[in-house]
Chain A
């Protein structure tokens, strides 16, 4: 039972480099999310999507981009990596009906920008 799968698990980037964090879910969930967690802080919403072809900004979208071409995939793009983007990134998904507000998280991607 895969659930929400994120890759890579760990990555070190140099300032100015770009990369994409991949996220896929096999639960046919409509809603998908990207959160970041900084040390000692709660989870902050970066971007979310309510369905294929629809994305919107969360609390901290600057420096990131997303796309949602399929129900399953929700990649997060960092175009010009900055040290402030050093964080743990969590992808999550949620069913539109039945499960209320329960959000299911991936295992996280640890990103360091040096």
Chain B
């Protein structure tokens, strides 16, 4: 049973346009969400996070939106650049209940930004 779902395996956008990557979760105990970016042959690197007490967090070109009622979050990249081409993983954790240490990952979405 997948608790974190990224239903789009891939996404292709034009340079300069907006990229929107989506993530859904089923575990209502999740209260902290992160996005990781992964280039081929490298480890994932942290991109941006959001706590469940917020509905938006922004860092430069990257914004994460959280809709708790829908159990949905999205990552917006504006404007998209060719260097953003990578696999993006959504991850979630539950800070309470003794599970603070664990992240549950989605399967990832491959973003391709075309020049």
CB of A4 within 8 A of CB of B49, answer: no
What's the Cα separation between A50 and B102 when bound, in Å? 11
Question: Which residues in chain B, 82-115, are within 8 Å of chain A measured between CB atoms?
Answer: 89, 93, 95, 100-103, 105-108
Residues of B in contact, count (CB < 8 Å): 24
B107 touches A42 (CB 8 A): yes
Neighbouring A residues of B49 by C-beta, 8 Å = 100-102
CB distance from A27 to the nearest CB of B (A): 13
B43 touching A103, Cβ below 8 Å: no
* Given A31-B101, A41-B107; A108-B41 close (CB under 8 Å): yes
* Nearest chain B residue, comparing its CB with the CB of A90: B43
Q: In the bound complex, do residue A48 and residue B43 qualify as a contact, i.e. CB atoms below 8 Å apart? A: no
A100 to B48, CA, bound (A): 12
A50 contact set on B, CB distance < 8 A? 101
Q: Cα distance A35–B45 when bound, in Å?
A: 14
Nearest Cβ distance between residue A97 and chain B, in whole angstroms? Answer: 11
Main secondary structure of the interface of B (DSSP, over half): loop
Q: Which residue of B lies closest to A50 (CB)?
A: B101
Q: How far is the CA of A101 from the CA of B96 in the complex (A)?
A: 12
Partner of B4, one of A42, A45, A101, A102: A42
Residue of A nearest to B43 (CB): A105
Chain B minimum-CB-distance residue to A107? B43
Cβ 8 A contact of A108, one of B34, B43, B95, B101: B43
In the complex the two chains form, what is the Cα distance from A105 to B89 in whole Å?
13
Asked, given contacts A48-B102, A100-B32, A101-B100, whether A42 binds B44 with beta carbons under 8 Å apart, the answer is: no
Question: Separation in Å of the A89 CB from the closest CB of chain B?
Answer: 10
Q: Quick one: which of B46-77 are within 8 Å of A by CB?
A: 46, 49
Q: Report A-chain residues with C-beta under 8 Å of the C-beta of B45.
A: 105
Q: Is A53 an interface residue (CB 8 A)?
A: no
Residues of A within 8 A of B105 (CB): 35, 42-44
> Per a CB cutoff under 8 Å, which of B32, B102, B107 touches A45?
B102
Q: Residues of B at under 8 Å CB distance from A?
A: 4, 6, 9, 32, 34, 36, 41-46, 49, 89, 93, 95, 100-103, 105-108
